[in-house]
Each structure stands twice: as C-alpha cells, then as structure tokens.
Amino acid sequence: MHWRKSSYSGEDAEHNCVELGRTPGAILLRESDEPQTVITTTPAALRALTRAVRDGRFDQLSR
C-alpha cells in the first residue's frame, strides 16, 4: 500500500497528518502518528465530505 500525505506536512516525525491510500473502489484514510487505525470510505463519500468542509457546513462545530 502506498500512502500519500500533503506536501505541506513536512517529512519529520513532528509533522503528523492525515494520509490517503487507495484500493479498487475504496479510499483509505489514517493519521500518520497512528497508522494502524484505518478508515475506509468511497470516493463519492470523500468528495461529499470535502465539498461540505469547503462550503463551511461544519464551521459552527468549532464555536
């Protein structure tokens, strides 16, 4: 499995971030500092989540 993370994250151990992997029909997500915990989702569900985040639909949760 090849995991990808944002180029903004840096390479040293102090820069933890979400990493993405891909299998046929599924997207895998994990936190780089806890790689044994993996969440599986579909490409469509991940697109819907990222659209909702960009549209600010979760902004009220941070208040």
Instruction: Give the pLDDT score at 46.
Output: 93
Instruction: Give the pLDDT score at 60.
Output: 87
Instruction: Give the pLDDT score at 37.
Output: 95
Which phi and psi (to 5°) does residue 14 adopt?
Answer: -80, -10
Instruction: Give the pLDDT score at 53.
Output: 92
pTM, two decimals, is 0.73
Q: Which amino acid is at 44?
A: A
- Collapsing DSSP states into helix, strand and coil, what is residue 30? strand
Instruction: Give the pLDDT score at 63.
Output: 67
Q: How many CA atoms within 13 Å lie on the side-chain side of 10?
A: 5
19-53 pLDDT per residue, tens: 999 999 999 999 988 899 999 999 999 999 999 99
